[in-house]
Amino acid sequence: MANPTPDESGTAGVRTDAVDYMTDTRPIASEPAAPGCRKRDPILVAKNVTRAFGGINAVDVEYLEVPRHKITALIGPNGAGKTTFFNLLTGFDQPNSGEWTFDGTSLHGVPSYKVSRMGMVRTFQLTKVMGKLKVIENMRLGATRQEGEKLSKALFKNIWGGREREITRHADGLLEKFKLDTKREDYAASLSGGQRKLLEMARALMADPKLVMLDEPMAGVNPALTQSLLDHVRNLKSEGMTVLFVEHDMHMVRNIADWVVVMAEGRIVAEGPPAEVMKDQAVIDAYLGAHHDVDLGAAEGIEVLEHQLAQDKESVVGTADEGILGHGITEQDGRDPDEGRDRKDAP
Amino acid sequence: MDFLNILSGALGEIISPTTAAYALAALGLALHFGYTGLLNFGQAGFMAMGAYGFAIATLTFNAPFWAAVLVALACSVAFAFLLGIPTLRLRADYLSIVTIAAAEVIRYIVTTNQLTDITGSAGGLNGFAGGFYALNPFPEGTYNLGFITLSARDLWVRVVAWSVVAVCCFIVWLLVRSPWGRVLKGIREDENAVRSLGKNVYSYKMQALIIGGVFGSLAGILFTLPRSSVQPANYGTELTFFLWTCLLLGGAATVLGPVVGAMLFWVVLSLTQGLLYGAIGAGYITFISIPQAGQLRYIMVGVALMLLMIFRPQGLLGNKKELVYS
Amino acid sequence: MSQQTPEGGNAVVTVTDLVAGYLPGVNILNGCSIEARPGELIGIIGPNGAGKSTLLKAMFGLVKIHSGKVVVRGRDITGLKANKLVSQGIGFVPQTNNVFATLTIEENMQMGMFQRPKDFKERFDFVTGIFPELGKRRQQRAGSLSGGERQMVAMGRALMMDPAVLLLDEPSAGLSPVKQDETFLRVHEINRAGVSVIMVEQNARRCLQICDRAYVLDQGRDAYTGTGRELLKDPKVIQLYLGTLAESA
């Protein structure tokens, strides 16, 4: 893992100045933390971005600034609109309204492939690696500025050969970092789910992006691989990149996020450093899972959890839609003597 | 039954100009489908564009040979644009349906009586290959290649046709191992992933469509040269499916697959024809007549195609790991 | 409750030395054996690539079995096609691609019941009793539902045929923590109603908390087994699998 020295150009083409991004303690926001607060150094600014599906607003973001050189987590309950927001920002979907800029350039109406060329890359929830190409070819595909990709130059290897060698060196370096170098010549289809996630992330880095947007990078990844993925994401910051990621895994968020943005029902409901946001009662209640401390296997565990969920706005427990859930807490009399017993101790 | 005759006839198909035309048109399809994932079911239309473009330019406009070839290729490019603009931004199936329809539209246009003066309608056109044969450097006489004897004209046509095939194969080979080719292979699997890597997918698909279409049109010209005649009935949908058979037989995502496939296709057709007709003529087979045997061959082609798709979808030369449709 | 069973005794599901894989010659399962007694909730946990999903798919006839046996309710169903298994009383809820996106919720439920269309209304009422939201939105296209809602449709559809055994492939995947808890509670309730459940899970902690017994798969074999409580405390399991999650617990 490289630590940039003050006179070494960062891989993102960004001069590292004398600032070490990992230990920079300057405040992230230029005003008190609140939804839509301004940042000292924003890389992405979004205003009034909306997207409706059949009358329902899937995304309704009034104002958001994403801080440069920081790792920002975008969290929220299912259906909050996080992935839709991602798609809008990166040109994979068209908004009903809104404007947003990346490094000062407006991205409204810019097609997805151009957004990517400008330095804003993304990964997908369901990994999109090319199974029928070898791992190294997948990596080479991620590179930019390869003249050989133009039809006019493709026939002449002497034109694009040099850049191809550079690209291959870069790819091999990344593959080694992500511990995929032994899989270099394998077809990507033979990789496991977690390895494909790593490959997709490594491939996204081939473009030396300024902003890396990860859509649920931990989803479906073996917990043993989680730590190494976390380290890779942290490493992006040390190399001068900005990271915005969507996640459900609170451990990951607590572990590496510098800033947290909470979305619910398409809107931003909270913003701030992880410690503060996680203390926000509304956010906690909304879904941060104070419930996960309840042990379902313990004697009254089920009832305790159902009771807690009944207080929870997101849960159907306690509402008309609860179905078979929650009946344990409403019945007090004539209860089945087996109910409530720790059934795991049964012979 | 004259087995030697039957065999030499079959071997002759390996170098026949018709085989070369099929090989070239299938090569265009390989670029479309094998490498880019485009479903083009109208390659017969591209061949018709080439053939008629060349013939009409020569006969109606008295264009010299090279100009006529250029006109044919220009028509081909325009045709590809027309097909691609509405369909390449949509799902793959839309291109397949539009191409079937477009090829038939071409065939109907050249068959209609309104344009008989230009297109010769159902009778077609002929006598336009003069310019081509005028370029023939081989002196008059017969050339004996062992299993087949050729006239100077026959030899010239074969030399040109296979040279064109060789050059086009070389071009395709260079293209697919280049970064441009890599983008195509990415597109055939996942367009959105390729877009997220900064490539203009629509543009690449259009380029592949045009190049493959141009090969198809060149093939159309080659197809008409031996007999110096073009007839609309030859460019129906069966032609497209024969081309697909050649492609899948050889291996859709390979450069030599279409060539090997075309050769095998014609050798087998010729062999079965020779054997069947011979056996009927000699009285070994009495339950079908010769015209029926002619149809039987094509039934066998259909069955062979089905067996191919079931048991060896990657064709002779293909790589199972790169199978386009799985 | 069931007593100690002899091999295949009165177990409702017995899998013996299963060897299976997607491609010939490449085995994902390398001799896996599990057992479920009637009314049990069995958890299957393990690292990615250990073969958990493959195990369920092989049991349900979706992946080729190269050797080994699967016996359900006394019948050898090894290699039987999935459609036959549904009528044998086995329900399967896949993790992805689990609904017919172009059909409505109600039509998806009908698909679950196509072998016995007459009982549809009764079963539909039963399932919407468990998932009232699905009943309310029965005309909505399944393709417009969120991931968690699709999970409910898929589970509901599997329940339409009143299965004796329910196979669940990571039912909590992709869900927010609250929805995950609801899912685990529901599975617990469904199991209490008498349906034997075999559940593959990534959320090992919750899975081990609610299951009777669990198997830890590693590299295609059943590496450890025990009751849910035992495995939660077993240092080998914590080491192998719970990993960093245990530290930050």
| CATH code at position B86 | 1.10.3470
Contacts of B243 (CB under 8 A, 6+ apart): B22, B25, B26, B29, B43, B44
Contact between A226 and A250 (Cβ < 8 Å):
no
pTM for the predicted model, two decimal places: 0.72
- Which residue from C minimizes the CA distance to A83? C146
Please provide residue A246's backbone torsions phi and psi, each rounded to the nearest 5 degrees.
-95, 130
- Which of C39, C44, C49, C57 shows the shortest CA–CA distance to C3? C39
A304 contact B CB<8A? no
Tokens of B5: 């005759």
d(CA A214, CA A122): 6
Q: Chain A: residue nearest B325 by CA?
A: A132
A43/A174 same-domain check: no
d(CA B218, CA B82): 19
CA distance A216 to A124: 8
Residues A254 and A298 in one domain: no
Instruction: Give the per-residue pLDDT at A249.
Output: 66
A244 and A116 fall within a common domain: yes
- What band does C3 get if pLDDT is binned at 50, 70 and 90? very low
Opening angle at CA A44, ends A38 and A50, nearest 5: 90
Closest C-chain CA to A250: C177
Assess if residue A5 is contained within a domain: no
A–B: how many Cβ contacts below 8 A?
Answer: 97
Same domain, A64 and A88: yes
**Distance, CA of A174 to CA of A203 (rounded, Å):** 8
Q: Return the residue matching tokens 């649920």.
A: A216
Name the 3-class secondary structure at C113.
coil
Pairing of strands A211-215, A71-75: unpaired
A176 and A242 belong to one structural domain? no
Q: For residue A263, what are its two tokens?
A: 């979305």
Q: Which domain holds residue B210?
A: 3-322
Cβ-contact C233, C210 below 8 angstroms: no
Contact C212 A325 (CB under 8 A): no
Query: What residue in A sits closest to C193 (Cα-Cα)?
Result: A324
Number of domains in chain B: 1
Does A229 lie in the same domain as A332?
Answer: no
CA angle A192, A198, A202 (to 5 degrees): 140
Task: Answer for the pair C156, C134: CB distance below 8 angstroms, yes or no.
Answer: yes
Query: For residue B197, which residues of chain A lie inside 8 Å, CB to CB?
Result: 113, 116, 121, 141-142, 203-204, 207
Query: Do residue A142 and residue A156 come from a single domain?
Result: yes
**Measured between CB atoms, which of C133, C174, C232 is closest to A219?**
C174
**Residue C144's pLDDT is what?**
82
Range with the poorest average pLDDT among A217-231, B78-92, C165-179: A217-231
Establish if B288 touches chain A: CB-CB under 8 angstroms: no
Provide, as residue numbers in chain A, all residues whose Cβ is less than 8 Å from the Cβ of B325.
none
Q: Could you tell me if A145 lies within 8 Å of chain B, comparing CB atoms?
A: no
pLDDT tens-digit profile of B188-236?
999 989 999 999 999 999 999 999 999 999 999 999 999 889 999 899 9
Considering only residues 173 to 232 of chain C, which have any Cβ-Cβ distance to chain A shorter than 8 Å? 173-179, 181-182, 184-186, 188-190, 202, 206, 208-210, 212, 227-229, 232
Of the residues A263, A289, A315, the one at which a domain ends: A289
Query: Of A295, A306, A344, which is closest to C185 when you measure between CB atoms?
Result: A306
What pLDDT sits at residue C240?
Answer: 57
Single-letter amino acid, residue A276: E
Q: What's the complex ipTM? A: 0.83
CB C228 within 8 A of CB A297: yes
Helix, strand, coil % (nearest 5) of chain A?
Answer: 35, 20, 45
Is A149 in Cβ contact with B183 (below 8 Å)? yes
Q: Please tell me whether residues A74 and A200 are part of one structural domain.
A: yes
Q: pLDDT higher for A14 or C245? A: A14
CATH number of the domain encompassing residue A29: 3.40.50.300
Structure token pair of residue A165: 């060698």
In a domain, A4, yes or no: no
Residue A149: what pLDDT?
A: 92
Residue B252 in contact with partner chain A when CB distance is under 8 A = no
Query: Residue A165: inside a domain, yes or no?
Result: yes
Q: Where are the beta strands (DSSP E) in chain C?
A: 13-20, 29-36, 41-45, 65-72, 75-76, 90-93, 165-169, 196-200, 213-218, 221-227
Q: A202 to chain B: nearest residue by CA?
A: B197
> Could you list the residue range(s) of the whole structural domain that residue A229 is in?
19-129+191-289
Residue to mutate among A115, A137, A149, with most B CBs inside 10 A, is: A149
CB of B147 within 8 Å of a chain A CB? The answer is no
Which of A78, A221, A224 has the CB atom closest to C179's CB atom?
A78
Residues 74-113 of A with CB under 8 A from C: 77-79
Alpha carbon distances (Å) from A309 to A299, A314, B55, C210: 17, 8, 79, 17
C-alpha span between B276 and B259 (Å, rounded) = 26
Residues A25 and A96 in one domain: yes
Q: In the sheet that C213-218 helps form, which strands lie side by side, from edge to edge?
A: C90-93, C165-169, C196-200, C41-45, C213-218, C221-227
A2 located within any domain: no
A14 within a domain of the structure (yes/no): no
Average pLDDT by stretches of 10, chain A with 347 residues: 42 55 84 87 94 81 94 81 89 91 91 91 88 94 91 91 94 92 92 86 93 86 77 90 85 86 86 83 50 68 80 76 64 36 38
Q: Which residues pair with A244 in a beta bridge?
A: A72, A213
Query: A95 and A237 share a domain?
Result: yes
Q: Which of C132, C174, C208 sits opposite A321 (nearest CB)?
A: C132
Q: Which of B175, B192, B196 to mutate to test the interface with A (most CBs of A within 10 A)?
A: B196
**In a shared domain, residues A50 and A154:** no
Between chains, do B196 and A150 touch, taking CB under 8 Å as contact?
no
Whether residues A204 and A277 share a domain: the answer is yes
The domain total for chain A is: 3
Question: By mean pLDDT, which of A182-186, B1-5, B195-199, C189-193 is the weakest?
Answer: B1-5
How high is the pLDDT of residue C40? 94
* Residue contact A128–B182, C-beta within 8 A: no
Contact C165, C196 (CB under 8 A): yes
Beta bridge partners of C221: C218
pLDDT higher than threshold 60 for residue B262: yes
Tell whether A7 is covered by a domain. Answer: no
Q: Is C193 exposed, middle or buried (0-12, 13-18, 19+ CB in 10 A)?
A: exposed
Q: Cβ–Cβ of A148/B175 closer than 8 Å?
A: no
CA distance A51 to chain B (A): 20
What are residue B211's DSSP bridge partners? none
